[in-house]
Structure 1
Amino acid sequence: MIFDPPEVIGHRGAGRGVVDGAEENTLASFAAAVAAGAAWVEVDVRRSADDELLVHHDAALPDGRVIVDLPASAAREAGLVTLEEVLDAVPEHIGIDVDVKTVMEDAVDAPSRRTTTLLMPHLKRESRRRRLFVCSFDPAALLAVHEADRAIATAWMPFVRSPLDQAVAGAAGMGCAAVAIDARSFGLSTDEPRPGRRAVARTVDVAHRAGLEVVCWCPGPADSARFSDAGVDALVVDDVPGVLAALKER
Structure 2
Amino acid sequence: MMAHRGASKAAPANTLAAFRLARDMGAHAVELDVRQCASGELVVHHDPQIADGRIIIHLTKSQLPEHIPTLDEALDACGDMWVNVEVKNYYTEPDYDANDTRTLAVLDVLRRHVAAHGDVNRYLLSCFRRKTVDRAHAEWAALPTAWLTVNVSDAAALARDLRESGHAAVHPEVSRVTKELIDAFHAEGVRVNTWTCDDPARMRELIAWGIDGICTNVPDVALDVLRG
Q: For this structure pair, what is the TM-score category when the shorter chain's length is used for normalisation?
A: 0.7 to 0.9
Tell me whether 1:132 sits opposite 2:110 in the alignment.
no
Q: What residue is the counterpart of 1:225 in the other structure? A: 204
The residue number in structure 2 matching 1:55 is 44
Q: Do structure 1's residue 106 and structure 2's residue 90 form an aligned pair? A: no
Matches for 1:9-158 after TM superposition, within 5 Å: 9-15=2-8, 19-20=9-10, 22-77=11-66, 79-91=67-79, 93-102=80-89, 104-107=95-98, 114-128=101-115, 129=117, 130=119, 131-158=122-149
Q: Secondary structure at the match of 1:81?
A: coil
Gaps of 5+ in 2: none
Distance (whole Å) between structure 1 residues aligned to residue 153 and residue 5 of structure 2: 24
Aligned partner of 1:132: which letter? Y
Distance in 1 of aligned mates of 2:191 and 2:152: 17
Q: CA deviation at 1:48?
A: 0.6
Rounded Cα–Cα distance in structure 2 between residues aligned with 1:148 and 1:228: 33
Identity of aligned residues (%): 32
Select the residue among 199, 202, 217 that pairs with 2:180. 202
Q: Which amino acid aligns with 1:208?
A: H
Task: Rate the CA distance shift 1:201–1:57 in 2: closer, same or farther, 3 A.
Answer: same
Q: Kindly tell me: are residues 181 and 119 of structure 1, through their superposed partners in 2, closer, same or farther at Cα, counting changes over 3 Å?
A: same
User: Mind listing any 5+ residue stretches in structure 1 that lack a counterpart?
Assistant: 1-7, 187-199
Letter of the 1:84 partner, please give it.
Answer: D
How high is the TM-score relative to the length of structure 2? 0.88
- Contact map agreement 1:164 1:185 (CA 8 A) in 2: no
**How far did residue 210 of structure 1 move?**
1.3
Deviation at 1:169, TM superposition (A): 5.4
Q: TM-score, normalised by structure 1?
A: 0.81
Q: Distance in 2 between matches of 1:210 and 1:127?
A: 27
Aligned pair count reads 217
Q: What secondary structure does 2:105 align onto?
A: helix
Tell me the residue number matched to 1:242.
221
* SS of alignment partner, residue 80 of structure 1: coil
